[in-house]
Structure 1
């Protein structure tokens, strides 16, 4: 192991960590599976960095995702009354049993792998339309022009949103992504009101005129799988924020990986049937999630020999778990499409395992393949060392991914 200096006090929030977290995480793992870190401003959190302990923590019911419990702790720490907005507090990612259980059952019934697979032709068309807009640019950015918008419009289409409203969803999604949900106000409040009004009208319309879409499936499910209007609204909000953020991070990350790993890229393009088996290794290597959504302890919990008191914030570092040499003893920092059982934690584990995992894989596979199928000569327009990641606690998105479509830089539309 390469010697790594002891990390700084706020190592998780430094630009050094954002750009190259893996040496620091290797050092942190070597010190133990759980470490205490101070949070900027006040308080502390406990970070789980090894794979087995992370998996254990994700499945532990004493580590709560209940948003009302989280806001209660925030109020106690800050002395300010904070209330979670209903649009963000009635979906399964922010709830625990018993409320989580019927929500999970309903979403699993409506949001099936079959429904995600049926989206493939639509995602191809969406990807091609975005690429058409970028094709004449000398050095297009595949993040802002492609990886960011593709999941938003795909998820909007899945929900039954008509194409003429997709630009609004892109605008709303961008605004919500940049906002702090705890410190609501201004732009976030306006965006929430606009998106909420649109979704309420969409739900009302789907009640009268159902279609072959996710919102209709939730509204018209059997009685034992039916959600309330607010639960459907909140689920739609979750898809438009957490769903598209993580998928955008994954699409951009896989595109960046293939631009710097031509051997692996060419192999998959030559063997389209091997994408399914390779996707988990790609997701493990890219790790679109830096940390899972934070948990809070409802009673003392011992993880990896460390006892965490009641009312403490616990952060499960997926970046670290996905590169843990104990779980992946053979070159964990390398992309290996032949790796056996690359059981990553990027989609979580246990009852909060991501319901949209299959759709994320479909969007990523289709989106990546269309770029390289249409533009086989595409190259990075900068040295790989110049690529930068956004400062983000949950996801790990590239800031930009500038490319040139052709090796000779001669722009032409004769592709595709």
Structure 2
């Protein structure tokens, strides 16, 4: 039941358990539409943390993400609403507001500008072609996840940061721990998080002995020579870049391919004109609900009205990105995939100060991935029944763990 519109406050509304339902594959939450229409700010309680407001309309979500009256730094020391038992580590850039957030972000922004990322495109294309060469040589069927979707962004971020590619199995495991909701028990999560911290500290120590010109080397210089970040901030930022730099793209590549294969008319349109790939990536970013829950909570710094309710100072609000990207007031027929959609603005990469730092890199890699797969693997299709695709379980992000594909040899 959706609570009728009224002057609602946190005391007047009984919170619902969130997520409202168990997400299946890439289905969006069915209750979102009713909430957008009748209760755009609803009271929820997540598996962990204090109750919160859930913002479901596009414009409200953008306010939560971009208005300085909403704070991430205010979450420090709070039992913030979350899907996972563990809280973010200290010094995490996601727990900061400007100017501290801006100080850390400026250290690495140059590596992720559109111009800098475009210089990486030829190397990303070379990696993608090499992976497809190996798939063709082995012959169908192939596993899109293991053979292509994981190694492409992992190789790119390893080369950019200066992390040894041969250690990928370790940091893949540690990344899963970072994103675990139920896959690992809390004590194991903390063990893996600490292992990753020790690993990054070792790479930092190596660069102090022998400076390098990779991104991690530049961060060490900023720490040691310019004193622009603490040691804890350095390690936390390095870990965040490694995890975020491959995990979401590695999930979205098979997500996008799955959506295209299950929307054959859109797939045929894209195959007929690969110049549509950049626009297709934006529509797929809008269409695919990557997370299993809402975004990271922001805390109101003062009393304010949002979505017809009074949000009091100190109350957390969760932005439902997957709902905002299907808002009928913004998008025509929002539940329909349309690779030629004119309304390309979405919040798939967030908004405001915490807009995804790596968005240009992710866009480039997704464009390279889709164009390469469709150009070089004609007739790309599921190798068997769609049910053969296996999906992640117990993690904060959605996506296949196995996707058997075939193509015309």
Alignment-derived partner of residue 239 in structure 2:
237
Superposition pairs of residues 219-368 of structure 1, within 5 angstroms? 219-220=220-221, 226-269=228-271, 271-289=273-291, 291-328=294-331, 330-368=332-370
Task: Identify the residue that residue 38 of structure 1 maps to in structure 2.
Answer: 45
Distance in 1, Cα, partners of 2:404 & 2:149: 12
CA contact (8 A) 2:28 2:289 kept: no
In 1, Cα distance between the equivalents of 2:34 and 2:70? 25
CA distance in 1, matches of 2:394, 2:184: 15
What's the offset of the Cα at 1:208?
4.8
Q: Is the 8 A contact 1:11 1:17 kept in 2?
A: no
Which residue is equivalent to 2:207? 206
Report the equivalent of 1:73: 78
TM-score computed with the length of structure 1 as normaliser: 0.80
Q: Which consecutive residues of structure 1, in runs of 5 or more, have no partner in the other structure?
A: 77-81, 407-411
Report SS of the residue matched to 1:288.
coil
Work out the CA distance in 1 between the residues paired with 2:269 and 2:209.
48
**Structure 2 residue aligned with 1:89:** 90
Q: Is the 8 A contact 2:27 2:289 kept in 1?
A: no
Find the aligned partners of 2:44 and 2:280 in 1 and give their Cα distance: 35
1:17 to 1:265, Cα distance in 2 relative to 1, 3 A:
closer
CA contact (8 A) 1:159 1:214 kept: yes
Matches within 5 A, 1:149-228: 149-178=151-180, 184-186=186-188, 188-220=189-221, 226-228=228-230
RMSD of equivalent CA atoms:
3.6
Secondary structure at the residue paired with 2:329? coil
Question: 1:395 deviation in Å?
Answer: 3.1
Give CA-to-partner distance per residue, 1:379-415, whole Å, 9 cap, x none: 1235557867646685332454332234xxxxx6xxx
Aligned counterparts of 1:29 and 1:339: Cα–Cα separation in 2 = 22
Residues 228-247 of structure 1: CA deviation (Å, up to 9, x unaligned): 44322211111233343322
Q: Residues of 2 paired with 1:32 and 1:41: CA distance?
A: 23
Q: Alpha carbons of 1:146 and 1:311: their partners in 2 closer, same or farther (altered >3 Å)?
A: farther
- Checking the alignment, whether the CA contact within 8 Å between 1:134 and 1:140 is kept in structure 2 is yes
SS in 2 for 1:204: helix
Q: Report matched runs for 1:41-60 at 5 Å.
A: 43-60=50-67
Residues 322-344 of structure 1 show CA distances to partners (whole Å, capped at 9, x for unaligned) of: 0101011x221122232224110
Q: What is the Cα deviation at residue 353 of structure 1?
A: 0.6
Q: Does 2:153 align with 1:146?
A: no
Structure 1 stretch displaced more, 377-386 or 362-371: 377-386
| Cα distance change, pair 169–385 in 1 and its aligned pair in 2 (3 A) | closer
* Deviation, structure 1 residue 215: 1.5
SS in 1 for 2:31: helix
Contact conserved, 1:71 with 1:83, CA < 8 A, in 2? Answer: no
Query: Can you list the C-alpha shifts for 1:149-168, whole angstroms capped at 9, x where unaligned?
Result: 43333222210123333333
Cα distance in 2, alignment partners of residues 211 and 119 from structure 1: 18
> Would the aligned equivalents of 1:124 and 1:366 in 2 still touch at CA under 8 Å?
yes
**Alpha carbons of structure 1 residues 268 and 42: separation in structure 2 relative to 1, 3 Å:** closer
Alignment size in residue pairs: 393
- Write the distance in 1 (CA, Å) between the matches of 2:182 and 2:98: 26
2:7 corresponds in structure 1 to none
